[in-house]
């Protein structure tokens, strides 16, 4: 069934509201929703000055100079975006969904702003504000993580993989440890795992008895 104009407009307004809550610039929201600048100011900001301002992100230059943690976080966000897109989620919804998921996984305040995330996708897919693709998501031949790289950069070079570098640096870098704290495993309860927990408990008891 064809979507009516009213339904599309309501969806655009809902998307715009979410983007504004995530800290997006008016221009970014306009690209994603097709809504006009004046309408967005009137509906979601006190006035034009209360909206986020400053130079828009320029990610190809930024990524080249970004530190290791920023490269890892940008790669994590882009990998989630690609996964959502592969499941058939539309680009704007995938951007918002991937950004929320990425932000939820950060142990520290997210280093990638929503506008940066938008710009990364623009350059990864050649869409919205950019017509040319400048990034690709490469697979590391060593750890198999997906990492962001300049288009054409040798995909099989593990020296370019920020995740491999992160693992090497982890034990001696406090900043990296704070940003990527180890996941704590909840205690295994018998009520959660039934027979499995009984089996493990018995196995432990047997080992203790030996
Ligand atoms: Zn790697």
Which residues lie at CB < 5 A from ion ligand 1?
140, 142-143, 161, 163-164
Which pLDDT score, from 0 to 100, does residue 51 have?
84
Query: In whole angstroms, how far apart are CA 20 and each of 16, 25, 124?
Result: 6, 7, 23
Q: What pTM was computed for the model?
A: 0.84
Ligand 1 center–CA 62 separation, angstroms = 21
Instruction: Tell me which H or E stretch contains 136.
Output: strand 135-139
Q: Identify the pLDDT of residue 155.
A: 55
pLDDT at position 157: 62
Structure confidence at residue 120 (pLDDT): 98
- Tell me the H-state helices in the chain: 5-21, 26-33, 37-44, 59-65, 68-86, 91-105, 114-125, 162-169, 174-179, 190-193, 195-209
pLDDT at 139: 93
Give the distance (Å) from ligand 1 centre to CA of residue 20: 35
Q: Which residues of the chain have pLDDT under 50?
A: 188, 191-205, 207, 210
pLDDT of residue 156: 57
Ligand 1 mean position, distance from CA 58 (Å):
25
* Ligand 1 centroid distance, CA of 143 (Å): 4
pLDDT at 140 (0 to 100): 93
Ligand 1 centroid–CA 148 distance in Å is: 11
Distance in Å, CA 97 to ligand 1 centroid: 25
């Amino acid at each position: 069934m064809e979507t009516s104009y009213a339904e599309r407009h309501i969806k655009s307004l809902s998307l715009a509201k979410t983007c504004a809550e995530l800290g997006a610039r008016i221009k970014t929201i306009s690209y994603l929703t097709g809504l006009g600048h004046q309408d967005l100011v009137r509906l979601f900001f006190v006035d034009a000055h209360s909206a986020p301002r400053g130079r828009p992100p320029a990610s190809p230059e930024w990524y080249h100079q970004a530190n290791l943690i920023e490269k890892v976080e940008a790669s994590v966000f882009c990998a989630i975006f690609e996964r959502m897109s592969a499941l058939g989620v539309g680009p704007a919804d995938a951007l918002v969904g991937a950004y929320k998921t990425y932000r939820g996984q950060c142990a520290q305040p997210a280093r990638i702003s929503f506008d940066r995330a938008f710009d990364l996708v623009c350059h990864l897919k050649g869409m919205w504000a950019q017509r040319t693709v400048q990034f690709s998501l490469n697979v590391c031949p060593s750890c198999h993580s997906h990492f962001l790289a300049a288009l054409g950069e040798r995909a099989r070079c593990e020296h370019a993989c920020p995740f491999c570098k992160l693992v090497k640096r982890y034990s001696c870098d406090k900043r990296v440890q704070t940003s990527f704290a180890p996941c704590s495993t909840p205690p295994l309860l018998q009520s959660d795992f039934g027979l499995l927990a009984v089996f493990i408990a018995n196995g432990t008891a047997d080992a203790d008895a030996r």
